């Protein structure tokens, strides 16, 4: 049985549409991430699942039971908000137990659940502290613990790491990765941070313009983006997109860049539509190299990242391109470089933005 099913969910605020016919199935104990820019509808969708917003149309089912007509407290769902929303006058133990007391759970059972959750989250030493006496990461773990003690069928995490600094966010991300192995429930996390989604999720749901753009495993989303939006939103830095012409031939497509350079791809020619094409290149598919070189470029920015160097350059026809160089690159602003393009890893996109990829192995 599927853990969660969304069927044709629609939502508008006045005349402004927010979600348009969203359907999705979430499997048992699956961790998925709603990934998308601000305004894509991902947080609204999460709130509809939780019962904090009402859909204009569609249905929400949890483990075979329709729940969109139920109040939030009867949905068997626990939500962790972006802001911790802890009661400042209560200790960690009291914050975690508060919902269970309201639900009239027996005191012994409350104590057991709170202690078990505190052990899992490694916050047992904090049980008698109040929120003001804890760091942001500790408060976030308490908020997760408050959800954990409810033993829900579904966890909803609304950008749970966005208020943490970079170092603490990385550490808490590791803790969430460990936690998902211990929780006997499905998890949905909303985020605009692709590193969080790629690290934590079993599947990513990329959202934009009120709709789901693509659903897939993290590396499937990265390696075979469904369209131009996904290609440029997932991956840092963004994929280079260059207008190209299809060169005569059969089998796999050969394309010509604006400066005349030819790129041999592994995209089946017969799969391509007629009309305009754009070539998609990840930075790791474009290397600074003397030979064999595909084209030349002028360096506009060098970004030194320690283990590798990113080179932002411009081809003779004005097309910007991002390439990789060795960690100890000596390139500087204005240098002329030659680039080797790995056409076998290239993508092609039609005029409507649909992606066409290398043939499956």
Q: What is the mean pLDDT of the chain?
A: 89
Of all helices (H) and strands (E), which one includes residue 313? strand 309-314
Q: Are 87 and 102 in contact (CB under 8 A)?
A: no
Of all helices (H) and strands (E), which one includes residue 302? strand 295-304
* Reported confidence tier of residue 291, pLDDT bands at 50, 70, 90: confident
Cβ atoms < 10 Å from Cβ of 130 = 16
Rg, C-alpha atoms of the chain: 24
pLDDT value of residue 164: 65
Whether pLDDT at 360 is above 80: no
pLDDT tens by residue, 10-60: 999 988 899 999 999 998 889 999 999 988 899 999 999 999 999 999 999
pLDDT tens by residue, 319-352: 999 999 998 999 999 999 999 999 999 999 999 9
Strand (E) positions, 51-174? 57-62, 65-66, 77-80, 154-158
Closest CA to 190 of 160, 226, 145: 160
pLDDT tens by residue, 91-147: 999 999 998 888 888 999 999 999 988 888 888 998 999 988 888 778 888 888 888
In the chain, where the domains are located: 4-233, 244-356
Closest CA to 73 of 160, 186, 150, 182: 150
pLDDT tens by residue, 162-194: 666 666 677 777 777 777 777 778 889 998 888
pLDDT value of residue 70: 93
pLDDT tens by residue, 204-253: 999 998 899 999 999 999 999 999 999 999 998 999 999 999 998 788 99
pLDDT value of residue 138: 83
CATH class for the region spanning 244-356 = mainly beta
Q: What is the CATH number of domain 4-233?
A: 3.40.50.300
pTM: 0.86
Q: Are 144 and 95 in contact (CB under 8 A)?
A: no
Closest CA to 113 of 83, 86, 147, 88: 147
Whether pLDDT at 199 is above 60: yes
| Furthest-apart CA atoms within the chain: distance in Å | 76
């Amino acid at each position: 049985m599927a853990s969660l099913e969304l069927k044709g969910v629609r939502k508008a605020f006045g005349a402004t549409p927010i979600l348009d016919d969203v359907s999705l199935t979430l499997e048992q104990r699956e961790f998925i991430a709603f990934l998308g820019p601000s305004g894509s509808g991902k947080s609204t969708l999460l709130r509809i699942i939780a019962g904090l917003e009402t859909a204009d149309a569609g249905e929400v089912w949890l483990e075979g039971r329709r729940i969109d007509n139920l109040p939030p407290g009867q949905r068997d769902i626990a939500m962790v908000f972006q802001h911790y929303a802890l009661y400042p006058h209560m200790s960690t133990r009291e914050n975690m137990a508060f919902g269970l007391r309201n639900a009239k759970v027996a005191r012994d059972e409350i104590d057991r659940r709170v202690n078990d959750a505190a052990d899992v989250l490694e916050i047992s030493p904090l049980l008698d502290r109040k929120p003001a006496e804890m760091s942001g990461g500790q408060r976030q773990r308490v908020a997760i613990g408050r959800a954990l003690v409810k033993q829900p069928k579904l966890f909803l995490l609304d950008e749970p790491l966005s208020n943490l600094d970079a170092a603490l966010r990385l550490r808490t991300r590791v803790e969430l990765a460990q936690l998902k192995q211990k929780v006997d429930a499905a998890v949905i996390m909303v985020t605009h941070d692709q590193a969080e989604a790629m690290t934590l999720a079993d599947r990513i749901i990329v959202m934009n313009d009120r709709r789901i753009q693509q659903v897939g495993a993290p590396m499937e989303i990265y390696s075979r983006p469904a369209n131009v939006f996904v290609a440029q939103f997932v991956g840092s830095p963004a994929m280079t997109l260059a207008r190209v012409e299809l060169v005569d031939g059969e089998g796999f497509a050969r394309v010509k860049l604006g400066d005349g350079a030819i790129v041999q791809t592994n995209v089946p020619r017969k799969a391509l539509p007629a009309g305009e094409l754009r070539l998609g290149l990840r930075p790791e598919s474009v290397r600074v190299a003397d030979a064999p070189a595909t084209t030349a470029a002028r360096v506009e920015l060098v970004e030194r990242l320690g283990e590798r160097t990113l080179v932002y350059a411009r081809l003779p026809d004005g097309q910007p391109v991002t390439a990789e160089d060795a960690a100890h690159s000596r390139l500087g602003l204005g240098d002329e470089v030659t680039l080797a393009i790995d056409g076998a890893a290239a993508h092609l996109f039609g005029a409507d933005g649909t992606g066409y990829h290398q043939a499956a192995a």
